[in-house]
Amino acid sequence: MSQKIDWAKFAEEQEKSVQKKLGDVSLSSNRNNSTAEASLLRKLMRNGLVESKTDIEIQRQNPNSPLYSVKTFEALNLNPNLLKGVYDMGFNAPSKIQETALPTLLANPPQNLIAQAQSGTGKTAAFVLAMLSRVDASLKYPQVLCLSPTYELAIQTGEVAAHMAKFCPEIEMKYAVRGEEVSRGSHLTEHIIIGTPGKVLDWALKFRVFDLKKLTVFVLDEADVMIATQGHQDQCIRIHKNLGPNCQMMFFSATYDQQIMEFAEMIVPDSITIRLKREEESLDNIQQYYVKCSGPQEKYNAVTNIYGTVGVGQAIIFCHTRRTASWLAEKMSKDGHAVAVLTGDLTVEQRINVLDRFRSGQEKVLITTNVLSRGIDVEQVTIVVNFDLPIDMQGKADCDTYLHRIGRTGRFGKQGIAINLVDSQEAMNICRDIEKHFNRKIHYLNADDSDEIEKIGA
């Protein structure tokens, strides 16, 4: 028999232990690990939801699919104890993505969904609520499977599920992650399995401790990582092929490029696609400038001139490499600036500590690589400096990364400033390509002219 879980106790224990578990995690340069674990860090950093003021684009492959929005959780007709858990988590009303996705996820007959929205908008809570709502506690076998790309993200999702279901002790859950073992020939009786693809494959197809064809819900979290990473993609496809024809599929992610979206739509039949419109990140409230420099020292001089002249709250400076970030941090510290450094060689726990200090204002300047260009939401950030312009693997302008970088300023509708340091003709060409891509003028700024610098901060 499956052991009953005391959800309230479980949630408390998970909250205490997750930081300890994360302290042992170092982020490698491997795209799968770094992307997935950066996503975990974004989730851990947030104290509340990021309110999206942009429209959500809804694409219906099946024109007869139900789609409407809700303004309250009561309108969803949830299990009363589940509703109690939602409110206990501090959710007063659905966020934009929850408002749009939940009626679809909970509709009958079940509807497949591909959802994309920015980090911190409540995607995890949306699919967890749908998972819990679909469980029939009288049936003692797995009915819901949620796949995450890493152990830590699976634990994070389980923690959300534990909090939300703490007034529903009849719902049982099991982790399929490293360190968890099952006996060959045994049969799982838990209702929800949250795990990583390799372990789930072993349990389902090798040990056969549960039947994939009996699942009623399949959730793919961080779907862009899963689909774009070769090993995970193969494992997910094998799992997907063994699902029953009536299994509801939910794919959630912060980002999808066109190729990944096309793949997702191919394997999720008759799906509704909910995503932020491509032009969602308006640049109208961010003043963009470029400064011509002859090399690293002139770049440094430009940074200090601008930072010393403009009335800056806090600043984020993006560098291409860890070496440049460390060099810049050392020089700025020697000149008396309170500087924090955030690079890929820090553990998740160390990164959280750096960000906590930056958020609290103990350091006014955060120097970083691309590691968190998508995940830092600090209201006091008024200026972003691209010490090095973002480029892709082919050395071309990386416009998506540029957008996410400068989007760290101008948050919550406020005015922001983005400064691009250009030290070569190649860098100038990249700057022009970015300008053309977004159809927004990047103005020339003479960083040696204090009067001109003062005007941009006015």
What average pLDDT does this structure show over 134-144?
97
- Token pair of 282 as six digits: 């308006």
Is 120 a domain residue? yes
Does any domain span residue 2?
A: no
Residue from 383, 370, 374, 391 nearest 286 by CA? 383
Pick from 30, 135, 117, 34: which is nearest to 79 by CA?
Answer: 135
Instruction: Report the share of the chain in percent with pLDDT over 90.
Output: 41
Q: Are residues 378 and 250 in the same domain?
A: no
303 shares a domain with 245:
no
Residues 218 and 362 in one domain: no
Cα separation, 209 vs 200, in Å, equals 10
pLDDT average, residue stretch 435-450: 89
Which pLDDT score is estimated for 36?
A: 64
Q: Is residue 193 part of a domain?
A: yes
Q: What percent of the chain has pLDDT over 70?
A: 77
Do 260 and 292 fall within a single domain? no
In this structure, are 327 and 440 located in the same domain?
Answer: yes
Q: Judge whether residue 194 has pLDDT over 90.
A: yes
100 with 242, same domain?
yes
User: 10 Å Cβ neighbour count for 38?
Assistant: 22
Is 80 exceeded by the pLDDT of residue 87? Answer: yes
300 found inside a domain: yes
Q: Are 408 and 373 in contact (CB under 8 A)?
A: yes
Whether pLDDT at 7 is above 60:
no
Tens of pLDDT, residue by residue over 167-181, are: 999 999 999 998 899
Q: What is the helix, strand, coil percentage profile of the chain, to 5?
A: 45, 15, 40
- The pLDDT of residue 454 is 79
pLDDT of residue 120: 61
Residue where one domain finishes, among candidates 231, 250, 276:
276
Q: Does residue 4 surpass a pLDDT of 60?
A: no
pLDDT for res 412: 46
Do 293 and 272 reside in the same domain of the chain?
no
Give residue 34's pLDDT.
Answer: 55
Q: Quote the pLDDT of residue 85.
A: 95
| Average of per-residue pLDDT across 28-33 | 42
DSSP 17: H
Number of domains in the chain: 2
Average of per-residue pLDDT across 262-275:
86
Residue where a domain stops, chosen among 276, 308, 323: 276
Q: What is the pTM for the complete model shown? A: 0.62
Q: Which of 227, 243, 276 is the C-terminal boundary of a domain?
A: 276
Pairing of strands 272-276, 56-60: antiparallel
Q: 318 and 444: one domain? A: yes
Rounded average pLDDT over 341-353: 77
Q: Average pLDDT, stretch 217-229?
A: 85
Q: Do 35 and 174 belong to one domain?
A: yes
Residue range 64-82, pLDDT digits in tens: 444 557 889 999 999 999 9
166: pLDDT strictly greater than 90? yes
The reply to whether 161 and 297 lie within a common domain is: no
Least confident range of 3-17, 301-315, 340-354: 3-17
The strand pair at 248-253 and 113-116 is best described as parallel
Q: For tokens 């190729």, what's the residue? A: 259
At residue 353, the pLDDT reads 83
Whether the Cβ atoms of residue 95 and residue 51 lie closer than 8 Å to each other = yes
Q: What is the mean pLDDT of the chain?
A: 81
Residue 78 included in any domain? yes
Count H helices, E strands: the chain?
16, 15
369 in the same domain as 247: no
Could you tell me if residue 1 is inside a domain? no
pLDDT top residue among 281 and 323: 323
The pLDDT of residue 375 is 46
Question: How far apart, in whole angstroms, are the C-alpha atoms of residue 199 and residue 201?
Answer: 5
Residue 281 lies in a domain: no
Residues 356 and 432 in one domain: yes
Q: What is the mean pLDDT of residues 281-308?
A: 85
| Average pLDDT over every residue of 137-143 | 97
Q: 414-431, pLDDT tens digit by residue?
A: 678 899 999 999 999 999
Using the predicted structure, report yes or no on whether residue 40 has a pLDDT greater than 70: no
Q: Which domain holds residue 327?
A: 286-456
Question: How many Å apart are CA 444 and CA 436, to the nearest integer?
Answer: 15
CA distance readout (Å), 241 to 165, 210, 247, 274: 30, 15, 11, 24
Structure tokens at 158: 């389980």
pLDDT at residue 3 above 60?
no
Is residue 303 assigned to a domain? yes
Q: How confident is the model at residue 13 (pLDDT cuts 50, 70, 90)?
A: low
Domain containing residue 69: CATH number = 3.40.50.300
